[in-house]
């Protein structure tokens, strides 16, 4: 697996909506800009919070939710979200260059 870094992450995250397959259910994350993000989980929970890029990933602090550090890794079957322990948690199924899902900006 190749971990995505720096310029690649900067080009594919701020201003985009990521659609994620989490084992047959969809989660959506909208990276509003270089510091704010919004997420809709499959169970309907919504979070907004602050995020920041690192050399080989990013971290997020959701308001009224968890904080986490993530990496994105490329394999033969796509790009995956990888948690701090190295476990693949979701597969990226699409990127829209806008707030395509209309997530509220809180």
For the chain, give every domain's residue range: 2-96
Average of per-residue pLDDT across 18-28: 97
Checking if the pLDDT of 39 tops 80, the result is yes
Q: How far apart, in Å, are the Cα atoms of 34 and each of 37, 61, 68?
A: 8, 13, 17
Answer for the pair 1, 73: CB distance below 8 angstroms, yes or no. Answer: yes
Q: Specify the pLDDT at position 48.
A: 96
Q: Specify the pLDDT at position 64.
A: 87
Task: Indicate the pLDDT class of residue 104, thresholds 50, 70 and 90.
Answer: confident
| Vertex 35: Cα angle to 32 and 40 (nearest 5) | 50
pLDDT in tens, 40-69: 999 999 999 999 999 999 999 999 899 999
Check whether domain 2-96 has CATH 2.40.128.640, yes or no: yes
- DSSP one-letter code for 4: P
- Calculate the CA 29 to chain-centre distance: 5
């Amino acid at each position: 697996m190749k971990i995505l870094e720096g310029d690649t992450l900067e080009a594919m995250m701020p201003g985009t909506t990521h659609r994620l397959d989490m084992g047959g259910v969809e989660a959506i994350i909208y990276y509003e800009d270089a510091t704010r993000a919004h997420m809709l989980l499959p169970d309907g929970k919504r979070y907004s919070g602050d995020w920041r890029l690192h050399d080989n990933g990013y971290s997020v602090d959701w308001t009224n939710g968890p904080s986490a550090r993530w990496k994105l890794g490329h394999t033969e079957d796509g790009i995956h979200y990888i948690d701090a322990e190295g476990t693949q948690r979701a597969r990226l199924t699409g990127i829209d260059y806008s707030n395509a899902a209309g997530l509220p900006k809180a």
